[in-house]
A = this chain, B = another copy of it.
Amino acid sequence: MNAAHKHKANILKALGHPIRFCIVEGLLAGEQNVGTMTHCTSVPQPTVSQHLNVLKAAGILKAERIGNEMHYSVCSAEARKIAAALK
């Protein structure tokens, strides 16, 4: 059980929550702002924000502010591969 294991497990753990996995799939399909995710996941906006933070902390997402909105995107190749593997 080395550092590589821990890194991979961290990514899996971050993705291992229904709301977060849903968010990532949505982002890979093109959605980008928090309002849309809130609808799509049907949880309150603050909850979405918290899960976005978890994903960001795990290095899976990056955020960019564009005017009033935040645009999130998946920046982890590993996360992309995992999502693809589960298609």
Taking a contact as CB atoms under 8 Å apart, the answer to whether B17 and A13 are in contact is: yes
Q: For A10, give the chain B residue with the smallest CB separation.
A: B16
Q: Which of B6, B21, B84, B86 contacts A78 (CB 8 A)?
A: B86
Q: Is A70 an interface residue (CB 8 A)?
A: no
Q: How far does the alpha carbon of A42 sit from the alpha carbon of B15 in the complex, in Å?
A: 26
Total copies of the chain: 2
Q: Is the interface of A mostly helix, strand, loop or mixed?
A: helix
Which residues of chain A in 1-27 are interfacial with respect to chain B, using CB atoms and an 8 Å cutoff? 1, 5-6, 8-22, 25
Shortest beta-carbon contacts, A-B, top 6:
A13-B16, A12-B16, A81-B85, A85-B85, A16-B16, A1-B22
Chain A residues close to B by CB (< 8 Å): 1, 5-6, 8-22, 25, 40-42, 78, 81-82, 84-86
